[in-house]
Chains A and B, each alone.
Chain A
Amino acid sequence: MWADSLVLAQLSLFPELASKEGANIDALYWFINIICIVMTVLIFFAIAFFAYKYRRRPHVEAMQIEGSTKLELTWSILPFLVMLIMFAWGAQAYYAAQQPPRNAMEVFVTGKQWMWKVQYPNGGSEINELHVPMNQPVKLTMASEDVIHSFSIPSFRVRHDVVPGHYDSLWFTPSKPGRYRLFCTEYCGLLHSKMVGWVNVMEEREYAEWMSGGGTGGSLSQQGETLFAQYGCSTCHLNDQQGRCPVLRGLYNKPVQLANGQTVLADDAYLRESILEPNAKIAAGFEPNIMPNFKGQISEQNVIQLIAYIKSLAPSQPASQQGPQQAPVVIAPRAQGNNRAGAAQQR
């Protein structure tokens, strides 16, 4: 008996809200709920009323009615107009969710069967725990080492799939200190239900203290610099025009002219692809097949460190700040699938 009451005591019907953006989603959710309730009650009432009023009685025959075009148009168009409100409101919220503010703090998340690895710009990292400060927009850049995962924080009303082969991102502004659950919401195999963790929202000062406890191996870009030397990147990517490979200083978030005439933005997705599959997009003036494929050689976590290092190479700006023309979130180009003979990997 006590077990039952314990279960009931924990019964919650509506999730806690702990992000600023979530208020809009909740308002929209309740707007749709109310429309649904009104429609359901109307239809149920009409059915109950007709069922009673027109119940079969002896010697009373049904009246044969063909229909009514006016009524049909009314109950097609009116609901559609109401649905247009949902559509526009929902599209607005979705658009906003893809526009991280420029001052968003960046955190990197890598999903793999069956854990979330979190990396901070200061070099610290943790597993299945995410620490974020209050009132500060946070942008997660996410990669998967294996299958599709989905990163979900119900209390923030955010979710995004983490698809292997490219970067995904989402952002939020925590608004309430506390500990909130995070889930993987795309089925990813045996221990899918164990791919869970906690988001810790801390007061700003508390967070600064927690951060200063940070990583032991230097900041994320310093870790990247070590890798840059270790993988021999520095032998070709020299800081003058003499190298056989493009200069990386000041490259981040700048347009790059490609050998095929196209121009791409040197964002995270482009840098990731150029590390793992350099031949996918060759910069104008350089030969293909000079840099080896690093696909399968470098983990997503190391790629994140390397990119952090490349970002820090912006000469005119402090390392922590991002480029001037912060582009809207670009849907990362999918893998091209060419020039990669021999890269196939058997698992």
Chain B
Amino acid sequence: MATIARELPEVEVEPVDYLNVEHGWKSWLFTTDHKRIAFLYLISITLMFFVGGAMAVLFRINLLEPEGIFSPEVYNRLFSMHGIVMVFFFLVPSIPATLANFLIPIMIGAKDLAFPRINLLSWYIYVVGALFTLYAVIRGGVDTGWTFYTPYSSTFANSYVLAAAVGVFISGFSSILTGLNFIVTVHKMRAPGMTWSRLPLFVWSNYATGLIQVLGTPVIAITLLLLAFERVARVGIFDPDIGGDPILFQHLFWFYSHPAVYIMILPGMGVISEIMACFCQKRVFGYNFVAFSSMAIAVLSFVVWGHHMFVTGESLYLAVAFSFLTFMVAVPSAIKVFNWTATMYKGSVSFDTPMLYALGFIGLFTIGGLTGLHLATLGTDVATHGTYFVVAHFHYVMVGGMVMAFLGGLHFWWPKITGRMYPEGWSKFASLIIFIGFNLTFFPQFILGYLGMPRRYQSYPPEFQALNVLSSAGASILGIGYLIPMIYFTWSMFKGPKAGNNPWNAAGLEWQIQSPPTTFNFDTTPVVKEEAYNYGPLEDVVG
């Protein structure tokens, strides 16, 4: 009797949700539930993030001494694998494959993505691609940098270029399928009343990201295929010795890889819009402009690739055109920053952990974006190209921006994803550590860059040591900062206090349903009757 009495309440208290509806490894590996797939992705990309991060810690240790600590062979492989793992296996899938995978169907009032099985397929493709790349790492790594520039990569490099390139090639299809799924889902699966102008900005930004993924990723696939042809069959495509053009590779590579920068940052911008609205309890200022700017970025991102090639001997007219277009793409990014700032005006601002990450994002993305001006400007790009200035710039955008947004989003939606809270004190502490560690790591690199320190150097002149030591010290703080959330999230998943359905008092369909959601998200299809971010009646005080 006593045992039954103890068991019964537990069964009743625990409602069915997507996590407890089925158990066993099969229920995960064969699932078509977008939420479970998002969880699979979350585990995979977290693993890859720590693989890539460990490499960064190692090469930052090397850079403590001007002469280096590891051999050039080891160092070159460390920075190359760091770039490949972080770009293709963390940043590109980060928010789309996890948070957006989880949230897009819920935010638009759908039961799942348009193609649930393709969604699962994309995860398997990602895993196969990641395994190829990890195989390259274990066999001894690749030493071409993540950019695979020819003819070094196609003719000269004696490392596992093909295995790494095949890994990237394969993972590209995972990215294409995710993008395709989002585009179709947003077009076809919106609940009644969920018009385009009522879409949460997170959906807009991921929709724009999907367009880039579908249109851009095939180009990197083709490029890597051509690289493999040249490396294996000696077909002269990029190597001038057999009739190729090395600059052609750069055109093809950056035709994908510049838009890919926006694959990496646009979803983060979407997260920030959601967080700002919730923790200001207020509509996002200038919704139309923020939504439109995502689309403008997606379009313009395809016509700026030449700014990576200002010092290659690119034609003067081409360079001037690319410089101009690059300034154009700065405008929609600036619009977003101004609108997020304006969202705080007359808001009711609270400083929970997600908001701390969002404010950190705005600050770091502002610095990252503004230092892009030095690189868009032809004269100053020549002085800073290929130096640590560039490294600092894109880490401010990619790490200061995207990783901050990813962590902010994870903290924001964690109660929805797991139904549990994380320890607020620890999470605030970690966000502070990350912010300090980040700036200490990357700010000195701007100074190093204009001083002339080249990227990808295993050893460097002694006058650069002080700044490098600062940067390495920052990297160790940053590394600890990233470990803390990993630990308390794992704890929270099993032991965290129950969160309730809407702990932040947020608007949006995802907060109207159970935490964690049931397999099909909604019991009945919701009918949407209001704008996004309906935190109260609109007061038409337009300034």
Taking a contact as CB atoms under 8 Å apart, the answer to whether A183 and B454 are in contact is yes
Contact B543 A71 (CB under 8 A): yes
Taking a contact as CB atoms closer than 8 A, the residue among A32, A63, A347 that contacts B155 in the complex is A347
In-complex Cβ contact of A28 among B376, B379, B466, B536 (8 A): B379
Q: Which of B152, B283, B313, B382 contacts A189 (CB 8 A)?
A: B152
Give B359 Cβ to nearest chain A Cβ, in Å: 6
A286 at interface (Cβ–Cβ under 8 A)? no
**A49 — nearest CB in chain B belongs to which residue?**
B344
Is A181 a contact partner of B344 (Cβ separation < 8 A)?
A: no
**B243 near A343: Cβ-Cβ < 8 Å:** yes
Q: Which B residues between 20 and 34 are near A, CB-CB below 8 angstroms?
A: none
Query: Across the two chains, which residue of chain B brings its CB closest to A328?
Result: B316
> When chains A and B are docked, how far (Å) is the Cα of A145 from the Cα of B463?
31
Within 8 Å of chain A (Cβ to Cβ): is B424?
Answer: no
Residue-wise interface mask of A (262-294) relative to B, using a CB-CB cutoff of 8 A (1 in contact, 0 not): 000000000000000000000000000000000
Do the beta carbons of A193 and B542 come within 8 Å of each other?
no
Q: Which residues on the B side are within 8 Å of A154 (C-beta)?
A: 383, 387, 450-452
For A33, the closest partner residue in chain B by CB is: B374
Given contacts A87-B324, A94-B316, A150-B311, contact A65 B283 (CB under 8 A): yes
B253-279: which have CB < 8 Å to A?
none
B439 at the interface (CB under 8 A from A): no
Complex CA–CA separation, A8 to B543 (angstroms)? 51
Query: Which residues from A are CB-within-8-Å of B345?
Result: 50, 54, 65
Q: Would A163 and B246 be within 8 Å (CB), given that A13-B447, A150-B311 are in contact? A: yes
Decide: A47 and B385 in contact? CB cutoff 8 A: no
Mark each residue of chain B from 341 to 385: 1 if its CB lies under 8 Å from any CB of chain A, else 0. Answer: 110111111110000000100110011001101101111111101
Interface contact A66-B247, CB-CB below 8 Å: no
Closest to A156 in B: B383
Known interface pairs A75-B335, A147-B152, A183-B452; A67-B286 also in contact (CB < 8 Å) = yes
Is A60 positioned at the interface, with any CB of B under 8 Å from its CB?
yes
CA distance A152 to B387 in the complex (A): 10
If A159-B382, A344-B242 touch, whether A94 touches B319 (CB-CB below 8 Å) is yes
Whether A216 is near chain B, meaning CB under 8 Å from some CB there, is: no
Tier of interface size on chain B: 35 or more
Cβ contact within 8 Å between B323 and A87: yes
Residue numbers in B under 8 Å from A165 (CB-CB): 240-241, 245-246
Docked complex Cα distance between A334 and B249 (Å): 13
Residue of A nearest to B345 (CB): A50
Known: A193-B72, A332-B313. A62 touches B379 (CB 8 A): no
Contacts of B324 in A (CB 8 A): 87
- B-contacting residues, A42-94, CB 8 Å: 43-44, 46-47, 50-51, 54-57, 60-72, 75-76, 79-80, 83-84, 86-87, 89-94
Query: A113 to B156, alpha carbons, bound, how many Å?
Result: 10
Are B344 and A63 in contact (CB-based, < 8 A)? no
Question: Which one of B316, B347, B462, B535 lies within 8 Å of A10 (CB-CB)?
Answer: B462
Stretch from B143-151, B179-187, B515-523 at the A interface:
B143-151
The listed residue (B145, B366, B460, B535) touching A62 by CB distance below 8 A is: B535
Task: State A123–B542 Cα separation when bound (angstroms).
Answer: 74
Q: Please give me the residue from chain B that is nearest to A114 by CB atom.
A: B72
Contact B282 A193 (CB under 8 A): no
What 10 pairs between A and B have smallest CB-CB spacing? A154-B452, A165-B240, A93-B379, A90-B377, A185-B386, A94-B378, A67-B286, A50-B344, A337-B243, A193-B457
A residues contacting B by CB (< 8 A) are 7-8, 10-15, 22, 24-25, 28-29, 32, 35-36, 39-40, 43-44, 46-47, 50-51, 54-57, 60-72, 75-76, 79-80, 83-84, 86-87, 89-95, 97-98, 113, 146-148, 150, 152, 154-155, 157-161, 163-166, 168, 181, 183-194, 196, 295-296, 331-332, 334-335, 337-338, 340, 343-347
- Identify 10 residue pairs between A and B in the complex whose beta-carbon atoms are under 8 Å apart, listed by A's number: A25-B380, A35-B370, A80-B331, A147-B155, A157-B383, A159-B385, A163-B240, A189-B152, A193-B459, A347-B156
Interface residues of B (CB under 8 A from A): 68, 72-73, 76, 143-145, 147, 149, 151-152, 155-157, 234, 236, 240-247, 280-283, 285-289, 310-316, 319-320, 323-324, 327-328, 330-331, 334-335, 337-339, 341-342, 344-351, 359, 362-363, 366-367, 370-371, 373-374, 376-383, 385-387, 447, 450-452, 454-463, 465-467, 469, 535-543
